[in-house]
């Protein structure tokens, strides 16, 4: 579940070298849009397609308004821009659709089943399957298509990519569109778990420890990191909870991430930086 959100981060980070702070807001935006469209009487598939279209449109707008003026600017400016974008999106989503908590039922049964005494949630399995599917598709896309190659090129060096005639704008639009689509999926799954509400955008902050554990540039890392964070916070709650008092779940992943930074700053699967002196 956490992996899905982290995936969106990794995607944009890999492709544009920018840490997209607005990913969480995009998740919220997507989920809210979907639910509200459905409330307005659109059939489920209609709402899904419409939301997808809106997310793609949003990606184009972001590219044009936010990113295009920032070509060749240092990554920190882009990061700041995405932070700004977060607030805009959150405001926009709630301004348009209202801030009432909305329920979302995807119709996926959530009956836990019992494997030798361990309860496994069907819903979580479903989410995992979706995450796995998305990852496979994206990985193949990045590795083997021309656009994927162009994406990696742009991430590495704007200037060189431009000199080869790679259209930076198109590439960025594609990345943000993909991130928007991932955000939609994440928003639906999380939304049906917790209800569609403002907190969704905060929960996505948990993606940070996921990324630190898994490495910022690795899609596989996002998945493993997501599992680690999810499992460790639950285990900590059960085993450490009684000793330290409850509510460990909320901060444990961050502590874990801090410890991890001390030991292995590039994450489990991240690229190691070797500087030539």
Partner 1 sequence: MGQRRPRIGEVLLDVSDVSLSFGGVKALHRVSFQAREREVCAIIGPNGAGKSSLLNIVNGVYQPSAGTISFGGVQRRSMSPREAALGGIARTFQNIALFKGMSVLDNIMTGRDAKMHSSLLAQALYWGPAQREEIEHRRHVEKLIDFLQIEHVRKTPVGRLPYGLQKRVELARALAAEPRLLLLDEPMAGMNVEEKQDMCRFILDVNDEFGTTILLIEHDMAVVMDLADRVVVLDYGRKIADGTPEEVRQNPEVIAAYLGVPTEADREALAQGAS
User: CA 195, CA 73: separation in Å to the nearest integer?
Assistant: 38
Least distance from partner 1 to the Cβ atom of residue 165, Å: 3
Q: Give the residue among 272, 260, 274, 273 at the shortest CA–CA distance from 212.
A: 260
110 binds partner 1 (CB under 8 A): no
Backbone angles phi, psi at 44, to 5 degrees: -55, -50
Instruction: Say if residue 222 is exposed, middle or buried (CB neighbours under 10 Å; 0-12, 13-18, 19+).
Output: buried
150 binds partner 1 (CB under 8 A): yes
161 binds partner 1 (CB under 8 A): yes
234 binds partner 1 (CB under 8 A): no
Sole window of 42-50, 52-60, 155-163, 254-262 interacting with partner 1 (rule: CB under 8 A): 155-163
Least distance from partner 1 to the Cβ atom of residue 161, Å: 7
- The answer to whether 222 touches 6, Cβ cutoff 8 Å, is yes
Nearer Cβ to partner 1 (33/217): 217
> Which residue matches tokens 């479903």?
126
In DSSP notation, 178-246 reads HHHHHHHHHHHHHHHHH-BSTHHHHHGGGHHHHHHHH-TT-HHHHHHHHHHHHHHHHHHHHHTHHHH-S
Sole window of 116-124, 153-161, 201-209, 247-255 interacting with partner 1 (rule: CB under 8 A): 153-161
* Of positions 73, 77, 136, 145, contacts partner 1 by CB under 8 A: 145
Least distance from partner 1 to the Cβ atom of residue 149, Å: 6
245 binds partner 1 (CB under 8 A): no
Least distance from partner 1 to the Cβ atom of residue 153, Å: 5
Nearer Cβ to partner 1 (138/236): 138
| Contacts (Cβ under 8 Å, ≥6 apart) of 32 | 93, 94, 97, 102, 187, 196
Total number of residues binding partner 1 (CB under 8 A)?
A: 23
User: CA 33, CA 40: separation in Å to the nearest integer?
Assistant: 11
Tokens of 268: 């489990």
Nearer Cβ to partner 1 (44/149): 149
Least distance from partner 1 to the Cβ atom of residue 137, Å: 9
Range 165-204, binding partner 1 (CB under 8 A): 165-168, 174
* Of positions 149, 231, 244, 265, contacts partner 1 by CB under 8 A: 149
How many residues would you count in the chain? 277
Nearer Cβ to partner 1 (69/167): 167
Sign for the CA dihedral angle at 145, 146, 151, 157 comes to positive
* Of positions 119, 164, 262, 277, contacts partner 1 by CB under 8 A: 164
Where on the chain is the footprint of partner 1 (CB under 8 A)? 141, 144-147, 149-150, 152-153, 156-157, 159-168, 174, 271
């Amino acid at each position: 579940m956490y992996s899905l959100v982290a995936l969106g981060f990794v995607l944009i980070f890999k492709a544009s070298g920018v840490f997209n702070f607005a990913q969480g807001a995009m998740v919220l935006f997507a989920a809210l849009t979907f639910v509200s469209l459905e409330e307005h009487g659109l059939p489920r598939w209609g709402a899904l397609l419409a939301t997808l279209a809106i997310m793609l449109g949003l990606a184009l707008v972001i590219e044009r308004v936010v990113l295009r003026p920032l070509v060749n600017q240092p990554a920190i400016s882009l990061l700041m821009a995405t932070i700004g974008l977060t607030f805009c999106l959150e405001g926009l989503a709630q301004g348009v659709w209202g801030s009432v908590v909305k329920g979302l039922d995807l119709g996926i049964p959530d009956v836990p089943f019992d494997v030798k005494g361990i309860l496994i949630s069907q819903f979580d399995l479903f989410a995992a399957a979706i995450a796995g599917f998305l990852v496979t598709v994206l990985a193949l896309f990045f590795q083997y298509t021309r656009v994927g190659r162009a994406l990696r090129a742009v991430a590495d060096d704007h200037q060189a990519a431009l000199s080869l005639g790679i259209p930076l704008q198109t590439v960025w639009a594609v990345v943000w569109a993909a991130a928007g689509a991932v955000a939609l999926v994440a928003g639906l799954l999380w939304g049906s778990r917790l209800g569609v509400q403002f907190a969704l955008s905060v929960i996505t902050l948990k993606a940070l420890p996921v990324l630190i554990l898994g490495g910022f540039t690795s899609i596989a890392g996002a998945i493993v990191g997501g599992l680690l964070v999810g499992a460790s916070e639950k285990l900590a709650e059960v085993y450490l909870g009684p000793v330290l008092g409850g509510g460990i779940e909320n901060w444990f992943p961050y502590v874990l991430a801090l410890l991890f930074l001390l030991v292995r700053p590039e994450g489990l699967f991240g690229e190691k930086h070797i500087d030539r002196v």
